[in-house]
Structure 1
Amino acid sequence: MSRTTPQHRRGRPRSAALAACALVLAAAGTGTALTGSASAAPAAGCTVDYKIQNEWATGFTTEITVQNTGTALSSWDVEWTFAGNQQVTQGWNADVSQSGRNVTASSPSWGGSLAAGGSANFGFQATYSGSNAVPASFTLNGVTCTADGSDPGDPGDPGGPGDPVDPPGGRVDNPYEGAQVYVNPDWSAQAAESGGEAVADQPTAVWLDRIAAIDSGSAGENTMGLRDHLDAALEQGADVLQMVTYNLPGRDCAALASNGELGPEEIDRYKNEFIDPIAEILSDPAYADLRIVNTIEIDSLPNLVTNVGDRATATENCDEMLANGNYVEGVGYALATFGDIENVYNYIDIGHHGWIGWDDNFTATAELLHEAANTAGATVDDVAGFAANVANYGSIEEPYFSIDDTVNGTSVRQSTWVDWNRYADIQTFSQAFREEAISAGFNNDVGVIIDTSRNGWGGPDRPTGPVEGAATVDEYVDGSRIDRRIQQGNWCNQSGAGLGERPAAAPATGIDAYAWIKPPGESDGSSSEIENDEGKGFDRMCDPTYEGNPRNNNNMSGALPGAPVSGHWFQAQFEELLANAHPAL
């Protein structure tokens, strides 16, 4: 399989200027077209006019105008990625810095604010050789200004000024933007039959969790293979199909409930019998106009940070996968192989704040992901972003307490619940991790998908405000927090959980989408040992009587009773998710 150059994979424009490229973030209700989030705070929007003022054999100067079409900003950062070897030598009216091909123009110290409807003008001088293509897209404070215009050049000059900035079917910065997302008929029918008619039209991801799933569907009642889903997406007129590739050798080394079919050393089978056949299907020209959002191997790389070595949380299986390198090799191979397909957008799993949010985990995870993204032929250009909270329960936001709060002089970070974590919610963690990943070497246009399928935490026990007059920091946090789990390390079929935010595109800075990656109603693991042919073991964290281990600070598991094997339909959990949904159904 031949490698495609990064600029072709990303659909770089060939025109010489970018005119009035606008992004409008609108509130979205239920349905499959993701255009915004009704409950999210107002986000920035922008238009950008990028003009090359003067150009000569080895250099050029620009004039750039950014208009803020969103809410007022106290400071701003405009970011883009060059397609060629352009190198900024000096800037004016902005602090312009460059790392590799990634450029950031920041508001100057003497003029940082940008009013709603206001504009900022700046420019730079740069050197180059060869092509001087205009950047494909720009962001204002992490929110994309999408290209929707063309140059005022001669439209009859193929390949020159006047060509469309972003050709139809070409690469986009955020695949969810303005897109209709595929509704999985398998899950939709099951949800409707199980009392979930109100949410049966929501898009959920297709899970490829074993080799057989490629042709015959994943666990439980799912019957459709990958090609069946792709054909159904075309019939629906969908723009985006979401999928999860989840079958690494020695899969999920810290949780028996989601162990897989491949042994720790079976990396060749993973490549040849799992990744390659999937890529062959996705490469079919019939699906070229579908954007394939692929979440890469949930839980894998974070396990190699938190569950190895001399830590109390270490497992023998995770130590083995760290030593043999097959998680890193497998993720790199998947990124490289799918990265060759222009319409595939790879998102690497980053766990969640209750796993990676501590100082000794945070940077190490970003660095490990960067290592994987440069292994087995992969590069950072194969990574569209990251996926957070997949199949987990952490709240998007904690509106009633802050990590910076204190109670009688004691920091919230010292509470039992927070336990010195830097983050109290998934969204703050995701936005910070994105910045950490960029610092580690990822492109500055990466985004994050947050799985909101089961983190609503509604119902009568949901707090309506912060605890007043709390005597201790534990009393304050436990009474104010939205996330009602016993402990943040609890992950299996959590009692009291509800459906979360409905899928929506670009709900916050740096967040590409809220998405239902884990199909609501599908079990995390069985409450007791159940024989199966899927390689899935019995994990005591799915047993409601279990008193815990170091990975959840020896707390009760918080799991629901009567659960089937992971991936199979769990009616009692689905009914609870419906009852506790927030926003309410």
Structure 2
Amino acid sequence: MDAARVDNPYAGAGVYVNPEWSAHAAAEPGGSAVAGQPTAVWLDRIAAIQGGPGAMGLRAHLDAAVTQAAGRPFVVQLVIYDLPGRDCAALASNGELGPTELGRYKSEFIDPIAAALADPAYAGLRIVNTIEIDSLPNLVTNAGGTATATPQCDTMKANGNYVNGVGYALAKLGAVPNVYNYIDAGHHGWLGWDSNLDPSVQLLHQAATSSGSTVANVQGFVVNTANYSALKEPNFTIDDSVNGTSVRQSKWVDWNRYVDELSYAQAFRQRAVAAGFDAGVGMLIDTSRNGWGGSARPAGPGARTSVDSYVDGGRIDRRFQSGNWCNQSGAGLGERPAAAPQPGVDAYVWVKPPGESDGASSQIANDEGKGFDRMCDPTYTGNARNGNQMSGALPNSPLAGHWFSAQFQELLRNAYPPLGGSGGGDTTAPTAPTALRSTAVTSSGVSLAWAAATDNVGVTGYDVYRGGVQIGSTTGTSYADSGLTASTAYSYAVRARDAAGNASALSTALVVSTSAGSGGGGGNAGCAATYTVSSDWGAGFNADVTVTNTGSAATTSWKVTWTWAGNQQVTNLWNGGLTQAGRAVTVVNAGYNGALAPGGTAGFGFGASYSGANPAPTLTCTAG
């Protein structure tokens, strides 16, 4: 049967699960929890259309989609991604076609795809195309005399092949009645500034009306494709202010008009309609890697001591800078794919299949036209496009699009919302609890909480360990340990048990220092520091430290000290001042996060190198 074009292709429809990606995910520990999620099929080179040994081609995917559909409304998602001079401001995702090869793009790439999509055998499918990620936005921000311009982007702006290539793709693919085209529209951390947003909308309109296309060939726009920008920042809005200073003036927001992808997507849609696109256009948001869960996820707003402490303490997007895009450390799976989740949003989608690399962390010879971009190198200290910040990339990553197990495991650990049950037999152990943290610290007690573990037969309880010895059990996800000694460090870990008697591995250890005695007079200032490793790649790691005012008086300053038991060395630190002498480390507050009300928190993080063992240090916190 033919599928008549509808307003929202995802409404009331199933969505294709790519069996190649699903097999990769299911083979990973814990991966069966998400192996059944729908992800897009990337057509990123001419050879991908036909496929080859061990790789499905376009028609093979469409045939599989017809089988999965079983006669019901059904979406199959494709990424059309092979423009000449593709992605001109990056090297990891450079393509096979040179800047002037528009003819080959049309005849060898778009035309064969259009012919396959027009096959009557696939007329019952709803075929959703993401059209050419990154390239058009690059013409706005990285060409034509901008501070971040590149010669390749200047070339592509001058020769018009991005605009004409996108127009040709829209016209050719849009002629197929059951095709829905969504043009890539960057993300809020790229185009959300006043100087970028309207020019971007105008450029996309120019492309949509070039090379024989009209706006009728555009069903909507997709944002955050293969990126990490948070769907929603829950702890602050663009309209907030601190001591009369707008959130827009914070270093993180930096005068952007938007703080997250949902607000950006809805605003982009309104601007697009005003610019001449159809009033029924919808938005897609790629939520595959923007969950930002795990132990580093803030529980509430930051301290109102300054606008920077308020934003940095409360933002869930934990990147060094919103321009960082390659295999980001600490990222997690985001909202699961869903139809019509918000006004103006056709769907949350997983365009970028979780576990597929953004780019190689070092030069790798290949026949795919993919280069080495320093933004994929974890040692890189940045450039003008990311505010000269660290890249935040995971180490040992393969070529773009190749399977990256370490990234997939990182995304599972930090998923938000947390993952549910993973299915399987009753011999499968639960996952280890995550996000172990202290919720209250006194001179004689510690209260702990953690994220629930997942299990196929159901978690029945948790065992709590102090110093490697079990001290108690609970059926909930919190535990209070009392009778402790003041000014003493304790190491905690938790494991889960299930209804079949299986036990998980222990969680990552959490070191908590109890506060000093209560003292007398008008209240005392005390503090505790907790330490959590957010990622560890064998030769280095990232860690987060949370400082809590455990006293009854406000602090004006704090200091955290420790001595490494191994050969660890801090290589970079943020949100504090570092002194390091041999194995001894001292961190004092920054100028904006030393003042903490009773119960208030601040945090700092750091990257470090090591070899051999990486034991957690014992932290001591002193408050002024």
Superposed pair shares fold, TM > 0.5 = yes
Alignment counterpart, residue 523 of structure 1, candidates 357, 363, 372: 357
Offset from partner CA, 1:37-77 (integer Å, 9 cap, x none) = xxxxxxxxxxxxxxxxxxxxxxxxxxxxxxxxxxxxxxxxx
Find the residue that maps to 1:257 and give its secondary structure: coil
From 335, 342, 345, the equivalent of 2:170 is 335
2:26 pairs, out of 161, 168, 192, with 192
2:144–2:157 Cα contact (<8 Å) kept = no
Code of the residue aligned with 1:545 in structure 2: it is T
Letter paired with 1:225: G
In the alignment, the residues of structure 2 paired with residue 403 and residue 431 of structure 1 have an alpha-carbon distance, to the nearest angstrom, of 14
Which residue number corresponds to residue 271 of structure 1? 106
Q: Which of the residues 254, 257, 264 maps onto 1:429?
A: 264
Structure 2 residue identity aligned to 1:231: D
* Cα deviation code 1:482-502 (max 9, x no counterpart): 111110000000000000000
Cα distance in 1 for partners of 2:249, 2:265 equals 22
Alignment of 1:374 with 2:209, yes or no, is yes
Report the equivalent of 2:414: 580
Secondary structure of the residue aligned to 1:331 is: helix
Asked whether the 8 Å contact 1:447–1:512 carries over to 2, the reply is yes
Does structure 1 conserve the Cα–Cα contact (< 8 Å) formed by 2:87 and 2:135? yes
SS in 1 for 2:346: strand
State the match for 1:410 in structure 2.
245
Separation of aligned partners in 1, 2:152 and 2:138? 10
* 2:232 pairs with 1:397: yes
Q: 1:392 to 1:222 in 2, by over 3 A?
A: farther
Please give the secondary structure, in 1, of the residue aligned with 2:181.
strand
Question: Aligned partners of 1:358 and 1:517: how far apart in 2?
Answer: 24
Compared CA separation, residues 290 and 168, structure 1 to 2 (3 A): closer
The structure richer in strand per residue is 2
Question: What CA distance in whole angstroms lies between the structure 1 residues aligned with 2:61 and 2:237?
Answer: 42
SS of the residue corresponding to residue 197 of structure 1 reads helix
Distance 1:374 1:236 in 2: 35
- Find the aligned partners of 1:406 and 1:171 in 2 and give their Cα distance: 45
1:488 aligns with 2:322: yes
Aligned pair 1:228/2:60, yes or no? Answer: yes
Instruction: Check if 1:170 corresponds to 2:4.
Output: yes
Select the residue among 125, 131, 138 that pairs with 1:296.
Answer: 131
Determine the C-alpha separation between the residues in 1 that align with 2:10 and 2:150: 37
Moved over 4 A (4+): none
CA distance in 2, matches of 1:290, 1:222: 25
1:385 aligns with 2:217: no
The within-5 A match list for 1:66-77 is none
Deviations 1:230-259 (A, max 9, x none): 000011126110000000000000010000
Residue number in structure 1 paired with 2:462: none
Q: Deviations over 1:430-475 (max 9, x none)?
A: 000000011111000000110000000000110111124x211111
For 1:214 and 1:284, the matched residues in 2 are separated by 14
TM, length-normalised to structure 1: 0.70
Counterpart contact for 2:362–2:377, Cα < 8 Å: yes
Higher relative CO (Cα under 8 Å, sequence separation at least 6) belongs to 1
**What are the residue-to-residue correspondences of 1:434-473 with 2, within 5 Å?**
434-468=269-303, 470-473=304-307
Matches within 5 A, 1:29-68: none
Cα deviation code 1:283-323 (max 9, x no counterpart):
00000010000000000110000001222211000000000
Sort the Cα spacing of 1:525 and 1:437 in 2 relative to 1 into closer, same or farther, 3 A: same
Give structure 2 stretches of 5+ with no counterpart.
Answer: 420-624
User: Once the two structures are superposed, what CA deviation does each residue of 1:506-554 show, in whole Å capped at 9, x if it has no partner?
Assistant: 0001000000000000000000111110000000000001011110011
Query: 1:169: how far off?
Result: 2.1
**Are the aligned partners of 1:187 and 1:222 in contact in 2 as well (CA < 8 Å)?**
no
**5+ residue gaps in structure 1?**
1-166
CA contact (8 A) 2:2 2:123 kept: no
**SS of the counterpart of 2:393?**
coil
Equivalent-residue separation in structure 1 for 2:358 and 2:20 (angstroms)? 18
Equivalent of 1:183 in 17, 28, 47: 17
Which structure 2 residues correspond to residues 116-155 of structure 1 after superposition, within 5 A?
Answer: none
Residues 208 and 217, structure 2, Cα contact 8 Å, conserved in 1? yes
8 A Cα contact 1:186 1:222, kept in partner: no
Which of 334, 344, 348 is residue 500 of structure 1 equivalent to?
334
Q: Aligned partner of 2:66: which letter?
A: L
Is the 2:65–2:76 contact (alpha carbons within 8 Å) kept by the matching residues of 1?
Answer: yes
Residue 168 of structure 1 deviates from its aligned partner by: 6.6
SS at match of 2:42: strand
- Give distance in 1, aligned partners of 2:4 and 2:24: 34
Partner of 2:376: 542
Separation in structure 1 between the aligned mates of residue 58 and residue 79 of structure 2, nearest angstrom? 11
**Structure-1 residue corresponding to 2:82:** 247
Q: 1:189 to 1:580 in 2, by over 3 A?
A: same
Q: Does 1:354 align with 2:189?
A: yes
1:230 aligned partner, one-letter code: L
The one-letter amino acid paired with 2:376 is: C
Name the aligned partner's letter for residue 338 of structure 1. L
- Distance in 1 separating the partners of 2:145 and 2:387: 16
Residues 345-394 of structure 1 deviation map (CA, whole Å, 9 limit, x = unaligned)? 00000000000000110000000000000000100000000010000000
> Could you tell me how far 1:222 is from its partner in structure 2?
6.6
2:144 to 276, 291, 309: 309
Q: Measure the CA separation in 1 of the matches of 2:3 and 2:333.
A: 33
2:485 aligns with none
The letter of the residue matching 2:203 is L
- Which of structures 1 and 2 has the bigger CA Rg? 2
Q: Percent identity, please.
A: 70
Match of 2:366 among 528, 532, 535: 532
Give distance in 2, aligned partners of 1:380 and 1:520.
Answer: 32
| Residue identity opposite 2:235 in structure 1 | Y
| Corresponding position of 1:556 | 390
Cα distance in structure 2, aligned partners of 1:243 and 1:169: 17
Per-residue CA deviations over 1:85-115 (Å, capped at 9, x if unaligned) read xxxxxxxxxxxxxxxxxxxxxxxxxxxxxxx
- Alpha-carbon distance in structure 2 between the residues aligned to 1:556 and 1:261: 29
Aligned partners of 1:284, 1:301: CA distance in 2, in Å? 29
The alignment's C-alpha RMSD in Å is 1.1
Matched residue type, 1:490? N
State how far apart, in whole Å, the 1-side matches of 2:137 and 2:273 are.
17
Letter in 2 for 1:236: Q
Residue of structure 1 aligned with 2:347, choices 513, 530, 539: 513
* TM-score of the two chains, using structure 2 as the length reference: 0.66
For the structure 1 residues 290 and 532, does the alpha-carbon distance in structure 2 shift closer, same or farther, using more than 3 Å as the test?
same
Q: What is the total number of aligned residue pairs between the two structures? A: 415
Matched, 1:566 2:400: yes
